[in-house]
Amino acid sequence: MKSVLKMNMNKISIKTTTELLRLRGILDQIGQASWSFSVLNKQYPVGALTEEQARELLVSYKELINRVTSCLENEYEDDGVGKRP
């Protein structure tokens, strides 16, 4: 019985667990964008691109940057930091 009590005392709270999962989700999204960039970078080396491919790659890069930026902006706002009155 003591071991069950001891285990419960060492568990983190639901609030902390929820926050950890939320932050992991954000980092997972950033990691996914990074992985997508790596794949694009390997499949389409800059020196071997046609003009059309380069323009398409620019769009993809901007989309990835926007995804990460949006993710970070949402986190920044959720923390109440930098919110405008």
1-53, pLDDT tens digit by residue? 555 545 556 789 999 999 999 999 999 999 999 999 999 999 999 999 999 99
| Domain residue ranges of the chain, discontinuous segments joined by + | 2-78
DSSP string, 11-76: SPPHHHHHHHHHHHHHHHHHHHHHHHHHHHHHHS-GGG--HHHHHHHHHHHHHHHHHHHHHHHHHH
Which two tokens mark 6?
Answer: 């001891």
Which two tokens mark 23?
Answer: 């932050």
**For the whole model, what pTM was predicted?**
0.71
Alpha carbons 28 and 85: distance in angstroms, whole number: 31
